[in-house]
Amino acid sequence: MSLNNIPSYHPGESMRHRITGFVLAWLILIGLGANLTQAAETKLSLLLDKIEATPGETVLAGIRLELKEGWHTYWRYGGDAAQPPRITWKLPPGITAGNIRWPLPVKEESSGLYSYAYHDDIVLLVPLTVGSDLKTGSIKLNADVFWLECKESCIPRNGTVSRTLKIGATDKSSPEASSLAAWNNKVPPPAVDLKFKADWSKSMADDERQLTIELAEKQGFYFKDFYPFENEDYEIGGKTTFEQAEGNSLSL
């Protein structure tokens, strides 16, 4: 049995996070022992917004995870010791995959652990760029997908999906195009020109500290919520709460 999918922990991490990681790994192992031969509770599929594309165009692909009721998987930052889905593309020369576009997850707490999860049905979007010098014809698109399938415990799952795409003289939309466009609207757009400043506004107390984020000026944006990305330079410990959200200023 391979344990390559179990998270690793390092001496620099806090004791709380190491214990959390051990507990999660233990739960995953229990899930493996109990469900090693059980069929996945998730239906995996690959969607494309085009059945035919011209050289130089972009095709929007979607990795769809249809989870049975009561099951969930995780966002790009799962929270306390959770792992996000991973996609490994196997594409022909001339096709390039971009970064995953992640729809917003649900923030939730269970037994003191905080997570950012997806329930029921989720589509992870990936733009595929068709090379301008690609010859016409049919090509095969393949992707290996890893995800955690979780209920009371988590089960690591792997699956492979594939689709055929025609490279031709015209662009032809697929029946899945409108659904993929709707999912794409659930992805927060990058605010490239957003100007803001952030500073610690209080001293450290009980391993916590308040962070204030302020927009430099009114730019047509407002604070909706806070979803952290995983980063080696800091840890998000436990629940992050709003202490203040007024106008252009937000305190966490």
Domains and their CATH numbers in the chain: 15-184 (2.60.40.1250), 190-252 (no CATH)
Most confident listed range (4-8, 15-19, 142-146): 142-146
- β strands within 168-202, DSSP E: 172-173, 196-200
Exposed e or buried b for every residue in 79-118, given b needs 16+ CB within 10 A? Answer: bbbbbbbebeeeeeeebebeebbbbebebeeeeebbbbbb
Give the pLDDT band of residue 76 (cuts 50, 70, 90). very high
Task: Provide the 3-class DSSP secondary structure of residue 156.
Answer: strand
3-state secondary structure labels for all residues of 3-31: CCCCCCCCCCCCHHHHHHHHHHHHHHHHH
Quick: pLDDT tens for 137-188: 999 999 999 999 999 889 999 999 999 999 999 999 999 999 999 999 999 8
Q: What is the pLDDT of residue 10?
A: 34
Residue 83 has pLDDT above 60, yes or no: yes
Residue 43 has pLDDT above 50, yes or no: yes
pTM of the model: 0.77
Residue 116 has pLDDT above 80, yes or no: yes
